[in-house]
Amino acid sequence: MIFQYVNGLIQQAIKAELIEQADNIYVRNQVMNLLNLETFPEEPDCVTDKSIPDMLEKIIEYAIEHEVIEDVFDDKEILTANIMNCFVARPSVIHAAFNEKYEQSPKAATDYFYNLSKNSNYIQMNRIEKNIHFKSDTAYGELDITINLSKPEKDPVQIKREREMKQKLDYPKCLLCVDNEGYTGRTGHPARANHRVIRVPLLGENWYLQYSPYVYYNEHSILLSEEHRDMKIDRKAFERLLTFTEIFPHYFIGSNADLPIVGGSILSHDHYQAGRYDFPMTNAASAFEFILEKFDNVSASVLKWPLSVIRLNSSNKDLLLDAANHILQIWKSYSDELADVKAFTGDTPHNTITPIARSREDVYELDLVLRNNRTSAEHPLGIFHPHADVHHIKKENIGLIEVMGLAVLPARLEMELAEIRQFLIGKSSDVAAYHLEWADQIQSEYGEILDSRMADEILKKELGKKFAKVLEDAGVFKERRAFERFIHTLNKQVAQ
């Protein structure tokens, strides 16, 4: 069967336009070498009804059975990526094709690159399709809920390997460095042999566009700095975001904040996240508008959103950047004891911004989400972080994706919610202790729940409420008067 699967993989790669028919023999020989195959039948039966990921799984099973590799997570990932690298052109060829497509339209270019990233199995769609997705109505409109099942858990052998090897290599320096392009991988560092990036010059620097291997939304992409340097939110960052929307007007782009707790998982490499998706926050209504007195022709409003968001719009990019930078500089040193906001503890800063940029026809738009990472005895993980009453659902940091209204919830919830569903319909269950109060509350509110389908709909609704509360916890201003005090400061002070 191995010959059928190799031949089928080649035929599917031709259909996906990864290679041409003329590449058949060359690619076959490359894959044979990786699998220690010394011969190949002239006309093997062709298995083409399976997808590329499905045939890869069968080939990896063969490799384990015939001791080409061990049945260990990293070994399987490395071989899979190396096999698919046989089908992916060199970076220069992909760059040329991307630029040629861009001459047609920016959308044609990103469509080409996104499909390449999926077809080459760099974006592992089989895993991503395991994620649970739904929308939930809340006071802020529909929020997106995802239970993340796509990242496979490391097996005990893999974990033991990583502990025993104790490698201190610093190449690539991190998971986002451009040096990952084509990197074979090693124990503890993911295989990237089939990984490609697109160079995007921005404001005199080289940046690189890639897609996330675990896409959480349509065309979930990452723009990373060529230089390995810390995340930093400043006027230059705002300018990069807006310039990117000029190059790719069909994409939004945003940045995680640059401080711990309110920042993303990787603060050591300057990067942004982009994509072609309307998040719930994208179309959030305005709670109220206000005037930025120093900035004519910039419209400003506060969004009706659980976090504290200022939206700026202008057809004048430079003026918009000046206004955004003014807000950032004032916010970085702003304290309001009534709102429990303190800018510093000693010399340690607490205030920063999560920015999001998009283009609306001929108008530039920037959303500035005010963030504060201070902790207290009552809230040791963060005053403006998910509080203890929602930790049974979400305890992790609230980064860019969740700020915009898409919850990425832990995989444990799949089984835990199934137990709660059984509990709600009166069947035998084993509800986790930290969910019991919530389960009792739901049962008390809804009374008799007739069947699993009804219980599922209720749980989706209640998860949406919990996520809204998570976001409310992260909001620095809990009432309009607090926001108005900050706006008054914006219009009275000159940024340093």
- Label residue 43 by pLDDT band (50, 70, 90): confident
Position 166 scores a pLDDT of 66
407-411: average pLDDT:
95
Pairing of strands 221-225, 271-275: antiparallel
Position 167 scores a pLDDT of 66
Position 404 scores a pLDDT of 98
168-184: average pLDDT:
93
For 240-252, how does the pLDDT look when each residue is reduced to its tens digit (9 = 90+)? 999 999 999 999 9
Position 495 scores a pLDDT of 59
> Which residues, at least 6 apart from 152, have a Cβ–Cβ distance to it below 8 Å?
73, 127
| Average model confidence (pLDDT) across the chain | 95
**In the predicted model, is pLDDT for residue 231 greater than 90?**
yes
User: Quick check: 185 and 193 in contact, CB under 8 A?
Assistant: yes
327-348: average pLDDT:
97
**In the predicted model, is pLDDT for residue 129 greater than 90?**
yes
Q: How many domains does the chain have?
A: 1
31 part of a folded domain: yes
Which range has the worst mean pLDDT, 19-23, 118-122, 437-441, 446-450? 446-450
Position 163 scores a pLDDT of 72
**In the predicted model, is pLDDT for residue 396 greater than 70?**
yes
Dist CA 41 CA 307 (whole Å):
62
**In the predicted model, is pLDDT for residue 494 greater than 70?**
no
| Closest among 451, 463, 389, 360 to 136, alpha carbons compared | 463
| Closest among 192, 188, 190 to 168, alpha carbons compared | 188
Which range has the worst mean pLDDT, 58-67, 165-174, 207-216, 287-296? 165-174
47 part of a folded domain: yes
Position 378 scores a pLDDT of 96
Q: pTM of this prediction?
A: 0.94
70-80: average pLDDT:
95
Task: Report the 3 state secondary structure along the chain.
Answer: CHHHHHHHHHHHHHHCCCCCHHHHHHHHHHHHHHCCCCCCCCCCCCCCCCCHHHHHHHHHHHHHHCCCCCCCHHHHHHHHHHHHHCCCCCHHHHHHHHHHHHHHCHHHHHHHHHHHHHHCCCCCHHHHCCCEEEEEEEECEEEEEEECCCCCCCCHHHHHHHHHHCCCCCCCCCCCCHHHCCCCCECCECCCCCCCCEEEEECCEEEEEEECCCCCCCCCEEEEECCCCCCCCCHHHHHHHHHHHHHCCCCEEECCECCCCCECCCCCCCEEEEECCCCHHHHCCEEEEECCCCCCCCEEEEECCCCCEEEEEECCHHHHHHHHHHHHHHHHCCCEHHHCECCEECCEECEEEEEEEEEECCEEEEEEEEEECCCCCCCCCCCCCCCHHHCCCCCCCCCHHHHCCEEEECCCHHHHHHHHHHHHCCCCCCCCHHHHHHHHHHHHHHCCCCCHHHHHHHHHHHHHHHHHHHHHHHCCCCCHHHHHHHHHHHHHCCCC
* Residues pairing with 491 in the sheet: none
Residue 14 domain boundaries = 1-68
54 part of a folded domain: yes
182-192: average pLDDT:
93
- Label residue 44 by pLDDT band (50, 70, 90): low
**In the predicted model, is pLDDT for residue 38 greater than 60?**
yes
17 part of a folded domain: yes
Position 155 scores a pLDDT of 67
Query: Could you tell me what percent of the chain has a pLDDT over 90?
Result: 90
Dist CA 242 CA 274 (whole Å):
12
Query: Could you tell me what percent of the chain has a pLDDT over 70?
Result: 97
357-377: average pLDDT:
96
Position 391 scores a pLDDT of 97
167 part of a folded domain: no
Length of the chain: 496
Residue 244 identity (one-letter amino acid): F
Position 450 scores a pLDDT of 86
User: Quick check: 407 and 146 in contact, CB under 8 A?
Assistant: yes
Residue 126 identity (one-letter amino acid): N
- Label residue 209 by pLDDT band (50, 70, 90): very high
The region that residue 185 occupies, defined by phi over 0 for left and psi between -120 and 50 for alpha, beta otherwise, is left
Dist CA 276 CA 259 (whole Å):
26
57 part of a folded domain: yes
286 part of a folded domain: no
283 part of a folded domain: no
